[in-house]
Amino acid sequence: MTVVGEDQLRLLDQVADSVLVVAPVADAGACAPAGRADFSIVHLSPGYIDPAGRAPRDIAGRTLLEAYPDCASGDGLAARAARVLADGAPQYAPGLVSPLTGAGSADAVPVMDLRAARYDDGVVFTWRGRVGDEGRLGEAFEHGRTRVALAAARDLLADSEQRAAEQQELALRLQRAIMPADVRLMETCGVDIAVRCRPAKAGYLVAGDWYDALQLPDGELLFVVGDIVGHGIDAVTGMVAARNTLRGLAATGADPHELLSRLNYAACAFTEGVTGTVICGRYDPKTQLLRWARAGHLPPVLVRGHLAAVQPLPEGMLLGMELDTEYEQVTLQLMPGDTLLFYTDGLIERRAESISDALAEFAAAAVPDDPDADIDSHVAQILANAASDTGDDACLLAVRIR
């Protein structure tokens, strides 16, 4: 994980007495008792000043709670990092900051000019010396160079934060421009459709997750859900390319397996690094028959009455891997009252479970509590019961046959 670029780190190491970069521990259950957040230490400046006086080699490779057991309390490092990640706002405490590592800790030594800023999914701390370290802190008070250097460090952090915010805003505008804002897309051709897209974090993008639902020139309906690998601008632009390409191909009247084959060719031959999963279906309102195929995507779930069934998986490699990949197509006969669910893995995956167990749990939770509930209420129930714990973006497209 790269939280800050190498050039930025070199500059910060030069202008701040101490630089500490931390990232959330993926599964802190065993390392963080009583639910305390823990963070792995991914970078220490060569001149790192440990509040307890230890050398950097004694801190590197550990977590914050291992290095400073009480740092999750009060205004300690872990507590500050958790707040910065929660709201995304940088923190700057000029002057004396006490305690740095938790009120009850033996390491609770005041430091000067503490700053915490978010980068990707990590947090960067910078501070001046610790109180009592006369060799460096005394000089910090008297020497103008230190003040200028600290100001440069703060400016660097602020500039990086501004660039990240601008990139986020650009991606958000791009996504809003091509993704419908209304959750109910259409009531036509004997179907009701509802969509929900849930970002991994409040205020963040749905990234590469996407969907489509439209009526084709021959009267059939196209249903698509996809997940382009990555986040930010690259994922959104890859998603736009895949979505628009598939729309154009669908106008030719090709079946889903042919559409995916041609979309995969385009991803391999005409783009750089665009990979992802897609599920694509064509529904004939006259016969209520669905023809569908998948490119590495999870299967749809059919809800019929008081039962929900995960559909068998046809063969199909994810997009952008092999130029001449072929895709298997299957058919599904639908009936009035059926609800078909297309979704991305961010809705169902759990770290401690196999994908087959996660699919079974999702299908069980997809059975509506009220058989007469409208599709929006049904979708709301599914999202409320979604058990994913991976922190990934999620998209759900629900189609009900009337």
Token pair belonging to 345: 């893995």
CATH number at residue 85: 3.30.450.20
Residue 315 lies in a domain: yes
Q: Report d(CA 249, CA 213) in Å as an integer.
A: 14
To the nearest whole percent, how much of the chain has pLDDT over 90? Answer: 30
Q: Report d(CA 251, CA 247) in Å as an integer.
A: 7
Residue 17 lies in a domain: yes
Buried b / exposed e over 35-60, threshold 16 CB at 10 Å, is ebbbbbbbbbbeebbbbbeeebeebe
Per the listing, tokens 């660097």 go with 156
Are residues 21 and 167 both part of a single domain?
A: yes
Are residues 40 and 160 both part of a single domain?
A: yes
Residue 145 scores a pLDDT above 60? no
pLDDT (tens digit per residue) in 179-211: 554 434 456 678 999 988 877 655 555 467 888
Most confident option among 141-150, 169-178, 188-197, 314-323: 314-323
Token pair belonging to 396: 């759900």
Residue 91 scores a pLDDT above 90? no
Residue 167 lies in a domain: yes
Are residues 145 and 286 both part of a single domain?
A: no
Are residues 274 and 333 both part of a single domain?
A: yes
3-state secondary structure the chain: CCCCCHHHHHHHHHHCCEEEEEEECCCCCCCCHHHCCCEEEEEECCCCCCCCCCCHHHCCCCEHHHHCCCCCCCCCHHHHHHHHHHHCCCEEEEEEECCCCCCCCCCCCCEEEEEEEEECCEEEEEECCECCCHHHHHHHHHCHHHHHHHHHHHHHHHHHHHHHHHHHHHHHHHHHHHCCCCCEEEEECCEEEEEEEECCCCCCCCCCEEEEEEECCCCCEEEEEEEECCCHHHHHHHHHHHHHHHHHHHCCCCCHHHHHHHHHHHHHHHCCCCCEEEEEEEEECCCCEEEEEEEECCCCEEEECCEEEECCCCCCCCECCCCCCCCCEEEEECCCCCEEEEECHHHCCCCCCCHHHHHHHHHHHCCCCCCCCCHHHHHHHHHHHCCCCCCCCEEEEEEEEC
Task: From 173, 193, 210, give the residue that closes a domain.
Answer: 173
Classify the phi-psi angles of 105: left when phi > 0, otherwise alpha if psi is within -120 to 50, otherwise beta. beta
Are residues 126 and 198 both part of a single domain?
A: no
Residue 1 lies in a domain: no
Are residues 183 and 72 both part of a single domain?
A: no
Are residues 161 and 28 both part of a single domain?
A: yes
Are residues 315 and 284 both part of a single domain?
A: yes
Total residues found in the chain within this entry: 402
Residue 114 pLDDT: 80
Residue 271 lies in a domain: yes
Are residues 202 and 254 both part of a single domain?
A: yes
Are residues 189 and 132 both part of a single domain?
A: no
The residues pairing with 277 across neighbouring beta strands, listed in sequence order, are 227
Q: Which one, of 228, 247, 246, 248, lies nearest residue 238 by Cα?
A: 228
Task: From 173, 203, 236, give the residue that closes a domain.
Answer: 173
Domain count, the chain: 2
pLDDT, greater one: 392 or 315: 315
Per the listing, tokens 């050398």 go with 55
Alpha carbon distance, N-terminus to C-terminus of the chain: 48
Task: From 115, 140, 173, give the residue that closes a domain.
Answer: 173
Mean pLDDT (the chain) is: 79
Q: Report d(CA 103, CA 76) in Å as an integer.
A: 8
Q: Report d(CA 308, CA 303) in Å as an integer.
A: 4
pLDDT (tens digit per residue) in 310-368: 999 999 999 999 998 999 999 999 999 999 999 999 899 887 788 899 999 999 999 99
CATH number at residue 210: 3.60.40.10
Residue 29 scores a pLDDT above 50? no
Are residues 140 and 54 both part of a single domain?
A: yes
Residue range of the domain that includes 356: 179-401
φ and ψ of 186, to 5 deg:
-165, 155
Are residues 167 and 188 both part of a single domain?
A: no
Q: Which one, of 67, 93, 88, lies nearest residue 78 by Cα?
A: 67
